[in-house]
A and B are shown apart, each in its own frame.
Chain A
Amino acid sequence: MSKHITMKKTEGGYSMNNGNDNADAADIIDIGHVINLAKLDLSRKDLGHLGSELNGILGYIDIIKEADVSKISGILDELEYDKLVRGVDLNDEFFKDCRIDECKTDDSFDFAIVEGNAPSLRVRSFTDNGSDTELRHGFFVVPQIIE
């Protein structure tokens, strides 16, 4: 059975599956919840459009349910990848390729560019040369959110 994305129009706009539907819970995807998890804001958008597109894609993707993976033991890990690609079991080789887990600097890395990439605090015009401080004492400045 394919997943359905249902929508309900409420006073505040569209709300996806607000929990009052009588449909089988397992058959309902709470798209509002997913959008929230994804930190997207689709309140202005035509959610019906998205709903029907996702419905089509999820309907197609459901083909994976048919696949018999009972003989597959776990997701491929790095050692298996090495064995697969090199055709031989080379644990030592694998660990030789692993870097030591320590911080290294990239000599070519330019922190002035990183600072320059900080978003502007206000709407910038093309003639604005970025005199507003986006970075203070090495910290990114963000809009005030607590009154």
Chain B
Amino acid sequence: MDNLYGLTIGELGELLRQGEIKSVDIADSYIKRIKEVDTSVGAYLQTDFEEAMKNAENADKIIMSGGDIPPITGIPLSIKDIFLIKGKKTTCASKILNNFISPYDATVVKKLKQNNYVFLGKTNLDEFAMGSSTENSAYKVTRNPYDSKRVPGGSSGGSAASVSADLCAGSFGTDTGGSVRQPAAFCGVVGLKPTYGLISRYGIVAFSSSLDQAGVLAKDTTDAAILLGAVAGFDERDQTTRRFEVKNYADIVGRANKASIKGLRVGMPVEFFSEGLDPGVNSKILEVRELLKGLGANIVDISLPDTKYSVAAYYIIATSEASSNLERYDGIRFGYRYKQEQGTRGLGLDDLYSKSREFGFGDEVKRRIILGTFALSAGYYDAYYKKASLIRKLIIKNYKDAFEKADIIIGPTSPAPAFLIGEKTGDPLSMYLSDIYTISVNLSYLPALSMPVGFADNPTKPGGVLPIGLQIISPWLTEDRLLSVAKIIEGEIKFRENNINKKDIRYE
């Protein structure tokens, strides 16, 4: 069968279970596709095709033996290069981890292996997941599959691009301030960040521990549900996971029915539709509002008044935690160590630390370490870190109040579609503000997803288009509701069906 790479996990799984195709056929299709296309896209930092074929052969044996086959068995996936996979490099797209080999598996990876997935490779990201465009990678540029001159978003830009360009069937990323949802919006795929504590962070390199959460990037909402179900759950190795009920998200989404929208209270935060929102994005989100209204939803205006502080509070909390988490890169036990050409004698201990960090870290990482160190330093802690943490509770209260009036909240994922490569690199603040709608969700531990709902005209490429993402936010631990509503919207908009020949992937 041709072009298996274009199918969803759900579609591939059905063909696999019916015996129509084999996992090795799927793996082969993706390997060919990666060889053909990834030189243009630049989604992967490393691939292992030998292992992919081995995984696929193994999966085929398991499928042949029959029994209950998990939905991701034999499915080729990519993983952001911030998850540890035993025996493989984990670079976090940083020079400081250039030669770091993972000594163990992240819990997410362990679960994928137990499900007999097929590993294709590890994807590019902003260094240590700090960024919104994947331009902060020390290794390579990843391009948006809809316009090679534009960014894929970030920090999980490699993952989003790999799904969008059909270089894998699905991908795992991390979302600290929007790093799954924003690139999903930019690349026209589904990106889900679940409730904080639902997926284990064990073996994911830490950036900001109270905000980091693993997320999934998928071709549609069914696939997002399948991927979430495969990795969610309590892990005794991560103290922040809980014994939350892991629902059968794929089953629930499969049963999603338009009739359930009738009477659903859909909240629209006035703060998300103010200045700075691109008119093209605005009009698409309003179309979704009309669509939901047409299905019988009650649209309610809500207010999240304190989200105006969210970007500021986030950049204090996230950088404070980062400055602490990144202390471990000291050039002593692992990672890059500074060496003088004529040997290291004469170099003081402080010099060894600071020069290793100076050469090992990129500019944005250093900027954030300095900002976080400052926010935690004597004399400034109360005014910055503590104040930001109190504001975090204000924002949580805003959402609690909003969910009294609304069952779900909708709005844009990002203020504008994908921007040009280089457009924001000289202005860190404008880069930070591109996450203005996603950040408050992380501060509040909430689940949210981004799904493609249409296109804007590409202002720099005549005839070209750029995807627009709708963000849906739902109350804590209601990923089932979130995915079901998304599935219904998806069925009405038919983004994938209307998405033929819109991409701009040059073939070598």
A residues with CB within 8 A of B: 29, 31, 33-35, 37-42, 44, 50, 53-54, 56-58, 60-67, 69, 72, 74-76, 81-82, 84-87, 93, 96-99, 106, 108-111, 113-114, 116-123, 140, 142-145
Contacts and interface: CB of A to CB of B under 8 A. Distances in A.
Contacts of A57: 315, 367, 371, 428-429, 432
Top 3 nearest A-B pairs (CB, nearest first) are: A119-B337, A143-B344, A41-B354
Contact of B393 (A35, A65, A76, A113): A76
B369 A82 contact: no
Given A60-B312, A67-B309, A113 B87 contact: yes
Interface of B: 86-87, 99-105, 110, 195-197, 234, 236-237, 239, 241-244, 306, 308-309, 311-313, 315-316, 323, 327, 330-337, 339, 341, 343-345, 347-355, 357-358, 361, 366-367, 369-371, 373-374, 377, 380, 383-384, 386-394, 396, 400, 427-429, 432, 445, 476-477
Contacts of B429: 56-57, 60
A85 B312 contact: no
A85 B197 contact: yes
A142 B338 CA distance: 11
B309 A84 contact: no
A56 B391 CA distance: 21
Given A64-B391, A114-B103, 6 more contacts: A39-B350, A64-B313, A109-B103, A119-B333, A122-B339, A143-B345
A143 B400 contact: no
B308 A35 contact: no
Contacts of A58: 371
Nearest to A110: B103
15 contacts: A38-B323, A40-B370, A41-B354, A44-B358, A54-B367, A58-B371, A61-B315, A64-B384, A69-B391, A76-B389, A76-B393, A86-B244, A86-B476, A108-B86, A113-B101
B87 A69 contact: no
A145 B345 CA distance: 7
A37 B354 CA distance: 10
Contacts of A72: 390, 393-394
Given A140-B333, A143-B345, A109 B104 contact: yes
A142 B348 contact: no
A42 B366 contact: yes
A34 B476 contact: no
A41 B371 contact: no
Contacts of A63: 308-309, 312
Contacts of A82: 242
Contacts of A40: 354, 357-358, 361, 366, 369-370
B370 A50 contact: yes
Contacts of B104: 106, 108-110
Contacts of A123: 339, 341
Contacts of B339: 120, 122-123
A77 B20 CA distance: 52
A121 B346 CA distance: 14
B407 to A, nearest CB: 14
A96 B316 contact: no
A41 B358 CA distance: 5
A109 B386 CA distance: 37
A81 B241 CA distance: 11
A39 B354 contact: yes
A39 B330 contact: yes
Contacts of A41: 351, 354-355, 357-358
Contacts of A96: 243
Contacts of B347: 143, 145
Given A85-B445, A114-B103, A61 B312 contact: yes
Contacts of A39: 327, 330, 350, 353-354, 357
Given A67-B394, A98-B239, A118 B333 contact: yes
Contacts of B384: 61, 64
Given A40-B369, A84-B445, A113-B87, A97 B103 contact: no
Given A37-B377, A38-B323, A117-B100, A64 B237 contact: no
A58 B386 CA distance: 16
A123 B345 CA distance: 13
Contacts of B477: 85-86
A19 B241 CA distance: 47
Nearest to A120: B337
B101 A116 contact: yes
A76 B445 CA distance: 12
Given A97-B234, A119-B331, A119-B334, A38 B373 contact: yes
Contacts of A64: 309, 312-313, 316, 384, 387-388, 391
A54 B363 CA distance: 12
Nearest to A145: B349
A113 B100 CA distance: 9
Nearest to A29: B374
Q: Which of B331, B349, B354, B355 has the most CB of A within 10 A?
A: B354
Of A31, A39, A54, A76, most B-chain CB atoms within 10 Å:
A39
A62 B316 CA distance: 11
A122 B343 contact: yes
Nearest to B351: A41
Contacts of B373: 34, 37-38
A117 B101 contact: yes
Nearest to A62: B312
B67 to A, nearest CB: 25
Given A60-B312, A96-B243, A118-B333, A84 B348 contact: no
A110 B86 contact: yes
B312 A121 contact: no
A18 to B, nearest CB: 18
